[in-house]
Amino acid sequence: MLKVVLVGRPNVGKSTLFNRLVHSQKAIVNNQPGVTRDRKYGYGKLVDLEFILIDTAGINDFSKRSTEIKIREQSQLAIDDANIIFFVIDGREGVLPIEKSFAINLKKQNKPIVVLINKSEGSNGLIGLSESASLGFNKVIPISAEHGEGLPDLYDVLKEYFNSKIINIKQNETFSNIENSSIRVSVIGRPNTGKSTLLNNIIGENRLVTGSDAGITRDSIEIEWHYKNQTFCLIDTAGLRRKSKITKILEKYMVSDTLKSIKFSDICILLLDASQSIDKQDLTIARMIIGEGRGIIVGANKWDKVTDQNAIKNKIINQLEISLSQIKKIPIVFLSGFHNKGIEQLFDKILCVKKKLNNRITTGKLNRWLSVTLENNPPPLYKGRQNHIRYITQVNVKPPTFALFMSSPDDLPNSYKRFLLASIAKTFDLHGVPIRIMLRKGNNPYIKK
């Protein structure tokens, strides 16, 4: 499939255009320059043209900081990977010296280059259009990513490349979306727990920008990976700090993006820094994951830095059992993302949790369990009257969800509901995953009257 990369200075609207072409708010957009740091891939569509679109960080040749150098390396990798380059400039500011310098480097790539004069709505955008000739490119299109202007011209240019023999595109290649065919696994945790380093070592390449500074990752980045004939969509996310410490609007967007990743994942890896004690924020994040009904695996990272491993292991297990009592036996993997240890065990746990999340229990098995359970531990009386529990059936998966029919749902104590959930988990081997039970009033719905 044809790959198109967006390059340009910070804050010229690359992420806005990315979101418009992939028809989703996948990239964080903010007036602050330098929001995008990692290269971000998405499935773009323009009328009948389907392609892979790559968003990159803004070019900045002046900074020599380690993080900025790594960001530039990610942008160059994206350019090397692409078939077509969209060079985005700000039409209101015109062509700046750094863009002229960057244009010279782009010409050395020997790839089709299209200059997009963004923010060209109104007369202010004429500045960039009049100065664009100095860049030395033939194809120049004024657009407005925010308002959707100029997309028909962009379509015409892309169509030429689809039909030409300049770019080698497999005509029989079908458009697929890994979101629909893979296990979506998000790595969630506080800042600087090693999420990006772990994912880089899993896939075996420096795909994500890493560093000792906290908060390097901003966007949620999706990466396709394969293990034991199974496709995974691995998602790196921004670190979640305590709500009271979040003051900047950009960080609020980052948190919102991470929470969205949790919602649309199958399984979340809660990554802890094992060299430190479990923080209250770690438990808050775990409750978010469980509340969304997602599978949860605790990854105790930086295990190589722990000296008394037995004591720390017991401490983590005991703290999770006490603080997250709603799920018994949460899977825990002790690993080192930096040294690539514990990765295979982690993915075996993911496959196990995925199987449990999709587990369907027949109605016959459930009601045989219910009959024995009610005989040994009947529900407590309410105002001297018995609450008749008549029937149970599974109504959903991911997470396993059950409907329990009874004479008076409002009068069943929460303690007895928790007892039933614990008994289901134990009987049907659903430990370590969230399960839900809905109380319903009525008789057996499968008995014909």
- The pLDDT score that the predictor gives to residue 176 is 43
Cα–Cα distance for residue pair 151/155, rounded to 1 Å: 6
Q: Which helix or strand (DSSP H or E) is residue 403 part of? A: strand 401-406
* Strand pairing report for 49-55 and 401-406: unpaired
Q: In what order do the strands lie in the sheet with 221-227?
A: 221-227, 230-236, 183-189, 267-273, 295-301, 332-334
pTM score, whole prediction: 0.74
pLDDT at 447: 58
Please list the rounded mean pLDDT of every run of 10 residues in the chain (449 residues).
Answer: 88 88 68 62 88 84 66 82 90 86 87 89 74 85 88 89 63 42 88 88 77 60 86 87 67 76 91 88 91 92 90 91 87 91 93 93 94 92 82 93 91 91 93 91 61
Q: Collapsing DSSP states into helix, strand and coil, what is residue 150?
A: coil
What number of CA atoms fall less than 13 Å from residue 355's CA on the CB side? 10
- Residue 188 and residue 238: Cα distance in Å, rounded? 8
**Cβ distance 21 to 44 under 8 Å?**
yes
Farthest CA pair distance, the chain: 89
Q: What pLDDT, on a 0 to 100 scale, did the predictor assign at position 80? A: 87
For residue 366, what pLDDT is reported? 95
Residue ranges with strand state E in 218-324: 221-227, 230-236, 267-273, 295-301
Ranges of H-type helices in 268-413: 280-291, 309-323, 343-357, 363-376
Residue found by looking up tokens 């469980």 in the block: 290
- In the sheet that 49-55 helps form, which strands lie side by side, from edge to edge? 40-46, 49-55, 3-8, 84-90, 113-118, 139-142
Say how many CA atoms lie within 13 Å of 381 toward its Cβ. Answer: 4
Residue whose pair of structure tokens reads 């949860």 in the numeric block: 296
Query: What pLDDT does residue 93 have?
Result: 86
Residue 363: the pLDDT is 93
Q: What is the pLDDT of residue 331?
A: 93
Q: Which residues contact 444 (CB under 8 A, 6 or more apart)?
A: 390, 391, 405
Q: Which amino acid is at 301?
A: N
Single out the residue of 55, 60, 126 nearest to residue 90, CA to CA. 126
